[in-house]
Amino acid sequence: MKNFSYIKAGSLAEAIKALGAKGSRLHAGGTDLLGCARDEVFQVDKVVSVSGLKELKGITARPDGGVRIGALTTLADVAASASLTEKYSVLSQAAAAVGTPQIRQQGTLGGNLCQRPRCWYFRSDLQCRKKGGTTCYAMAGENQYHAIFGGGPCFYVHPSDVAVALVALEAQLRIAGPSGSRTVGIDSFFVSPGKFIDKENVLVSGEIVTDILIPPTAGKIKSSYRKIASRGSWDFALASVAAVLQVENDTVRSARIVLGGVAPFPWRVQAAEKLLAGKKLDGSAAAAAADAAIAGARPLKGNAYKVEIVKGAVEETLTALM
Ligand SMILES: Cc1cc2nc3c(=O)[nH]c(=O)nc-3n(C[C@H](O)[C@H](O)[C@H](O)COP(=O)(O)OP(=O)(O)OC[C@H]3O[C@@H](n4cnc5c(N)ncnc54)[C@H](O)[C@@H]3O)c2cc1C
């Protein structure tokens, strides 16, 4: 592992300034960053820790009825929050599904959204397409964990569990950077490899996600996160589903259905959402939404099994919400 310098920022402004230098990397909980540094996935000359910035931690109710979660809030705190579990169980379930208790104690919500892909070619010392080379080795190689939707020219899947839940909740992200602050809807935060091959989100150099804002819901929502992984102990999702439904008198008023582990960014299935809106949530609606969720899947040689997993997971998730 190459040497790097380390600073612990005393303020957000200091962190942003320090991140302006080439090779500077933000350190939140460090659970992904340090692995990437060790494996030389990218250049790390200076590590800028924001762990001392208390203003980036905590879960608070907002006057509009929504919730603000500081980006440095740990995944364990998100999973354990009684207020989130009551109102937005999809998010607490997704946070609880991440890794191990140790990872959830140390890893932060912001870090989980900004972690780098787990594609084994990207994480190896191969100069793959994402690292500036000319070949996506997954395309013709070992691709059992890769994308069945939205891939090309690179076929990694986004590794975050909570991102899937936050897209289903229509969260917004507050971002601070050298040119001031901005708020971005999470639907526009993640980017496809076709747009930017070398990054997974719209952050530019020096920018830091400071807050995750969950909007108020129009009425009571029913929500759930279901993750399918190879191992029960800890693992990244082979596929996952976040469902958020607004239901009135047994009729779905609106739905957000988002898939994880199957595309380079959380994959929203609007066709399934449209099918559910205005319908009674019953077995046939759940089955139709599951069929809609897999329409357009483009599996690679080794990952067609994911199509069936998605179909089953969507149907089961919706059935559990009946
Ligand atoms: C053994 C293991 C198992 C795991 N299993 C899962 C799993 O099942 N599901 C899952 O979703 N994840 C899983 N992870 C990933 C883990 O959840 C992430 O590593 C963690 O959430 C990252 O948070 P962190 O605070 O440690 O981020 P860091 O490691 O500090 O940062 C991660 C990256 O994001 C950037 N970053 C961090 N915070 C911000 C911010 N606020 N603004 C802008 N950029 C930022 C950093 O510069 C870095 O590039 C696993 C990791 C390990 C090591």
Could you read off the pLDDT of 214-253 as tens digits, one per residue? 999 878 899 999 999 998 878 999 999 999 999 998 899 9
Q: Which atom of ligand 1 is nearest to the CA of 161?
A: 11
* Residue identifier of the C-alpha nearest atom 6 of ligand 1: 99
Could you read off the pLDDT of 105-121 as tens digits, one per residue? 999 999 999 999 999 99
Q: How far is the CA of 121 from the centre of ligand 1 (A)?
A: 19
Q: Which atom of ligand 1 is nearest to the CA of 114?
A: 34
pTM more than 0.95: yes
Q: How far is the CA of 36 from the centre of ligand 1 (A)?
A: 10
In the predicted structure, residue 304 carries a pLDDT above the cut 90: yes
Could you read off the pLDDT of 254-274 as tens digits, one per residue? 999 999 999 999 999 999 999
What's the pLDDT at 186? 98
Q: How far is the CA of 276 from the centre of ligand 1 (A)?
A: 33
Q: How far is the CA of 23 from the centre of ligand 1 (A)?
A: 18
Q: Which atom of ligand 1 is nearest to the CA of 72?
A: 41
Mutation choice for ligand 1 from 16, 103, 209, 213, CB with most ligand atoms inside 8 A: 103
161 in contact with ligand 1, CB cutoff 6 A: yes
Structure tokens at 251: 């009729």
Give 3-state DSSP helix, strand, coil % of the chain, rounded to 5: 30, 25, 45
151 in contact with ligand 1, CB cutoff 6 A: no
115 in contact with ligand 1, CB cutoff 6 A: yes
Q: How many CB atoms lie within 10 A of CB 159?
A: 20
Closest CA to 78 of 160, 179, 176, 183: 160
Q: Do 263 and 158 meet the contact criterion of CB atoms below 8 Å apart?
A: yes
Asked if the peptide bond before residue 178 counts as cis, ω within 30 degrees of 0, the response is no
Between 161-168 and 89-96, two packed helices, what is the crossing angle to 10 degrees?
170
Long-range contacts of residues 193-196, Cβ cutoff 8 Å, at least 24 apart:
193/130, 193/151, 193/152, 193/153, 193/154, 193/155, 193/156, 193/264, 194/152, 194/153
Q: Do 164 and 266 meet the contact criterion of CB atoms below 8 Å apart?
A: yes
